[in-house]
Amino acid sequence: MRESCGIFGVYAHGAEVARLAFFGIYALQHRGQESSGIATADGKRIRLHADMGLVAQVFNEATLDRLIGYIAIGHNRYSTTGSSRIFNAQPILVSDSSAVRNLALAHNGNIVNASYLRRELEEKGYSFTSSSDSEVIARLIISSPGKDLIEKLKYATSRIQGAYSLVIMTNDQLVGVRDPFGVRPLSLGSVDGGWVLASETCALDHLGAEVIREIEPGEAVLIDETGVNSLRIGKADRGGLCIFEFIYFARHDSVIGGQRLYPKRQAMGIQLAREHPVEADLVIGVPDSATAAGIGYSFASGITYSEGLLKNRYVGRTFIEPEQRLRDLGVKLKFNPMPEVLSGKRLVVVDDSIVRGTTTPQVINLLRKSGASEVHLRICAPPIRYPCFFGVDMATRRELIAAQKTVPEIAEAIGADTLGYLSIDGLIQSVGLPREKFCLACFTGDYPVPVQLEMDKLEMETVLDTG
C-alpha cells in the first residue's frame, strides 16, 4: 500500500520561504516519493520548480535561490489519479482572466467525480496539461463564479466529491482547505512571525514552528496581511478521517486528532496480544511502520522483543531500475534478516496490513530461510476487503486477498502458521477516538460518499501519453 501525498504552505514576510518549504516537504517525504515541487509568490507573480524524484534530488541552492517571495507551497506526490509523470508533478499552476489571475495548488487526496468535472470544463473551452484530479480542482476554482478567491472556493468545493486537503496560493494569499469529511490531515502552525500549513505536525516540529491547531473538516483558512481568517466551506453528516493515518501513513511522532501516533500504535500491539495470544519465543515488528505495535505486543504478552529484520530505507525510493537478477530478489532488497536472532525461534511477526498478499509470503519465506521454526503473523489492521478511492493507491477488490479468502485460507496462502487481525472495535479502542470520526470503508465497504467501485487511477490519461 502506497502513501498519500504531503502538502506544505508558508506565509512569512522577511523569511526564506522557499527554504522553509524545502525542509517542510523534506519532513513529509514519507508521504510521497515520485515527484516534488515548490511554488513561491512575491505579491506580483508566482514562480514554480517541480520535477520527478525525492526532495533532495529535485532542489539545490540554485533552484531555491530563484524561488523568491514571502509565500510558498510545496508538494510530495504519490499518484492516486494520473500517472507518475512530470506533467503530473505539483504544485499545479493555472492562470485565467478572472478576478483571481494566477493560482498554484497542492493537493492530498482523491476526487471521485474528477472525470465528470473535467469533461464539463473542457466543454467550456478549458484545456488541461496533466491527467491529475488536482488540475481539475485548480481549474474549477479559478473558473468558478465569484469576485474573490473565497467566493470561488466555496462554489468549487460545493461541486467536488471526495477527499482533499489543499494548500492554495495566489500572488498575495495563502489558503488551507480540508474537505467536509476530514479524510486527510492538515495542521496550522506559526513560525518566524508568519504562518505555516502542513499535512503533519512533524513538519512543523522540524522547523521549530509552534503547532496551533488542526484545520477542521469543512474549514478553509485564508492567510494574508490581515492574519489568519477561518471560513466554513462545507459540512458533512459524518466524519471520514482515514484510519490508516493512525495505522501506517503518518509518522510516529505526528499528532492527529490530538493523539500522538507512537503510543497509539503501541496500543494496537497490546490489543493484538489480547485478541490473538500465542506461545512464542520472540516478537519482531516489520520495520518501520509496525515497530511500535511489535513493542506493544511484546509488553502485553511478556514475550521478548527483538529486531529480526533490518530495513534498507532507500530501496524503492529511487528511479534507477534494478537489473533482473536484483528484481528477482524481491523483498530481500528491502529487508535483511538476522539469522543469529531468528534461528530456531518461534516468532510473532507484527505488521501493519495485508493488501494483495504478494509481499507478505516473501517476508515469511525470508524468516523461515533464516531459521525461524514458526511464524505467527499479527496484523494491526482488520482485513482489507474494499478498495480506497480517497487518496490511497491500494488495489481493486479482485486483488484484495481478504476479499477473496477467509483468514485461515489467507494464512495458508502466505505461509504463516497462524494469522490474527486486529478487530475493528480493538482498533478504535486503541486509537482512543470515537468510531464516527473515521472512514473505515476499506474494512466495511461503507464509504463516506457514493463511489464507482472499480475506478481507474489512469482514467484521465489522454494524448499526453503519446504527445
Active site residues: 5
Cα 251 to Cα 36, 110, 364, 410, distances in angstroms? 19, 21, 25, 29
Which residue carries 499479527 as its cell? 378
Q: How many angstroms separate the CA atoms of 68 and 363, rounded?
A: 47
Q: How distant, in Å, are the alpha carbons of 27, 198, 233, 330, 359 from that of 212? A: 18, 11, 20, 43, 40
Closest CA relative to residue 180, chosen from 455, 454, 448, 467: 448
Q: How many other C-beta atoms are found inside a 10 Å radius of the C-beta of residue 455? A: 16
Query: What's the angle, vertex CA 280, arms to CA 279 and CA 283, rounded to 5?
Result: 130
Quick one: which H or E segment has residue 263? helix 261-275
Q: Torsion over CA of 381, 382, 386 and 389, rounded to 10 degrees?
A: -30
CA distance 426 to 382: 9
Query: For residue 27, what is the enclosing H or E element?
Result: helix 17-27
The phi and psi torsions of 420 (rounded to 5 degrees) equal: -135, 130
Are 189 and 204 in contact by the 8 Å Cβ rule? The answer is: yes
Radius of gyration over every alpha carbon of the chain, rounded to an integer in angstroms: 22
In terms of Cα–Cα distance, which of 130, 129, 125, 162 is closest to 143?
A: 125
Element spanning 299, H or E: helix 291-301
Cβ-proximal residues to 450 (8 Å cutoff; 6+ apart), any chain: none
What secondary structure does DSSP assign to 368-431, as a single string?
HHTT-SEEEEEESS----S---SS-----GGG-HHHHS-HHHHHHHHT-SEEEEPPHHHHHHHH
Between CA 68 and CA 293 the distance in angstroms is 43
Supply 326's cell numbers. Answer: 536484483
Cα–Cα distance for residue pair 286/335, rounded to 1 Å: 9
Residue keyed to cell 536472532:
341
341 and 282 in contact (C-beta within 8 Å)?
Answer: yes
